[in-house]
Amino acid sequence: ARVNAKDNKWLTPLHRAVASCSEEAVQVLLKHSADVNARDKNWQTPLHIAAANKAVKCAEALVPLLSNVNVSDRAGRTALHHAAFSGHGEMVKLLLSRGANINAFDKKDRRAIHWAAYMGHIEVVKLLVAHGAEVTCKDKKSYTPLHAAASSGMISVVKYLLDLGVDMNEPNAYGNTPLHVACYNGQDVVVNELIDCGANVNQKNEKGFTPLHFAAASTHGALCLELLVGNGADVNMKV
């Protein structure tokens, strides 16, 4: 049997074994010279697959055979991005201990901390920060990890980042603050927290819209609207 044969998705037996977290199968394939650098149609290597599937034992077997753990897939994501997205602290620790670049960015300039924040993986966010991740880093559209957590309603991450002292009124490329994006997505718990911490309820974006405009336009922004109005938002603010 050809140990590196690819299927219609360009997956090799090693990709498949890693995806099913089968450490024994991985060891057998490696013993028979399976290609640890093989890429599937998304340019993902077996290490990317291991990181996405929390297959730590498989990753431990792969890493010593790799010259570089920072290889990017088609979206520009490294194994660390995938581990952060899936919220697996043990995998993140393993990759960092083997030289993973904590500030590697994907094609949208998002770093591992953006993905961990967006998914609400608070322990991974803390782990990345402890290893020197920039909490104020911005992607191509100037979204910070706080924007990411605010947009998806990840309150524990929002609180943690605010405790670290990040700027809660930081605008993205469109002039939207974390409060704007939280209102747009109807994340009332986050909106409440940002207001409590002193976020500017009347800050305008590039087009002159305030968080109140966003809450009013959102299909699930009613509670956000109440919170804003109750905390001094100007209801007559014109665009």
| 238 contact partners, CB below 8 Å, separation of at least 6 | 208
165 lies in a domain?
A: yes
Q: Which residue has the tokens 């044969």?
A: 5
Of 86, 97, 16, 100, the C-alpha closest to 58 is 16
Question: What pLDDT shows up at residue 88?
Answer: 96
Contact present, 113 and 144 (Cβ < 8 Å): no
Q: Which residue has the tokens 């490294």?
A: 78
91 lies in a domain?
A: no
Question: What pLDDT shows up at residue 1?
Answer: 65
196 lies in a domain?
A: yes
Count Cβ neighbours within 10 Å for each residue of 50-76 and write b for 16 or more, e otherwise.
bbbbbbbebbebbbeebeebebbbeee
How far apart are alpha carbons 112 and 116 in whole angstroms? 6
112 lies in a domain?
A: no
Which positions of the chain have pLDDT values less than 50? none
- Domain with 221, as residue range(s), is 141-239
233 lies in a domain?
A: yes
How far apart are alpha carbons 51 and 58 in whole angstroms? 9
**HEC sequence for the chain:** CCCCCCCCCCCCHHHHHHHCCCHHHHHHHHHCCCCCCCCCCCCCCHHHHHHHCCCHHHHHHHHHHCCCCCCCCCCCCCHHHHHHHHCCHHHHHHHHHCCCCCCCCCCCCCCHHHHHHHHCCHHHHHHHHHCCCCCCCCCCCCCCHHHHHHHHCCHHHHHHHHHCCCCCCCCCCCCCCHHHHHHHCCCHHHHHHHHHCCCCCCCCCCCCCCHHHHHHHCCCCHHHHHHHHHCCCCCCCCC
107 lies in a domain?
A: no
235 lies in a domain?
A: yes
Backbone region of residue 62 per phi and psi (left: phi > 0; alpha: psi in -120 to 50; beta: other values) = alpha
| Torsions phi, psi for 80 (to 5 deg) | -65, -40
pTM summary value: 0.94
232 lies in a domain?
A: yes
Domain count within the chain: 1
How far apart are alpha carbons 200 and 70 in whole angstroms? 39
CATH for 180: 1.25.40.20
